[in-house]
């Protein structure tokens, strides 16, 4: 504890003041940052600066890693969505083609089994042979078409 000021000479007071840290002179006060820095040694100041730089660099690395992780996750999500869309389009295409094949073969089987004419509501595409052409080719075409129809119907039933 400091002795009362009026009991001592001024040189003694100044010498004691300069020797003690500022916090001991005013323990109840929070010293401002400039005064606090004066109390620190150069080595301590440099150590704190280096630690602050390390902390900032570590935080920046964490932010960059999180950003990179989010970008990668976004790419994975987009790729997954695109695969799902492509799979749905492929499924619809296969279903459409198989429906068209089944329709054409059912008409062909109806023609070959019963020798009935194609109903006027049926759509005959250019690649589907007309009834008269199939009748001209005879039994071999009928057997082939019935085999294909059985094959397609088996596979369509397996898909469902």
What is the residue-averaged pLDDT of the chain? 71
Q: What is the pLDDT of residues 94-146, one digit of tens each?
A: 888 777 777 777 766 665 555 545 555 545 455 555 555 545 555 556 667 67
Give 41-98 as a 3 state SS string.
CHHHHHHHHHHHHHHHHHHHHHHHHHHHHHHHHHHHHHHHHHHHHHHHHHHHHHHHHH
Q: Which of 73, 69, 49, 50 is nearest to 61 (CA)?
A: 69
Would 90 be classed as within a structural domain? yes
Q: What is the pTM of this model?
A: 0.36
Whether residue 92 contacts residue 118, with contact meaning beta carbons closer than 8 Å, is answered with: no
Is 116 among the domain residues?
yes
The domain in which residue 114 lies consists of 40-159
The count of domains in the chain is 1
User: Is 14 within a domain?
Assistant: no
Per-residue confidence (pLDDT) for residue 71, from 0 to 100: 96
Whether 39 shows a pLDDT value over 80: the answer reads no
Q: What is the mean pLDDT of residues 37-42?
A: 66
- Considering the domain boundaries, does residue 5 fall inside one? no
């Amino acid at each position: 504890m400091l002795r009362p000021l009026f009991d001592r000479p001024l040189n003694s007071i100044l010498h004691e003041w300069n020797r003690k840290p500022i916090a001991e002179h005013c323990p109840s006060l929070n010293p401002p940052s400039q005064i606090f820095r004066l109390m620190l040694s150069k080595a301590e100041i440099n150590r704190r600066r280096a630690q602050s730089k390390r902390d900032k660099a570590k935080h920046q690395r964490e932010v960059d890693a999180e950003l990179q992780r989010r970008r990668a996750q976004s790419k994975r999500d987009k790729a997954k969505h695109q695969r799902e869309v492509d799979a749905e389009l492929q499924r619809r295409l296969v279903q459409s083609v198989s429906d068209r094949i089944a329709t054409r073969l059912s008409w062909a089987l109806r023609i070959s089994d019963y020798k009935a004419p194609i109903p006027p509501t049926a759509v005959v595409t250019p690649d589907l042979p007309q009834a008269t052409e199939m009748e001209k080719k005879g039994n071999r075409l009928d057997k082939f078409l019935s085999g294909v129809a059985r094959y397609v119907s088996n596979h369509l039933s397996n898909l469902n």
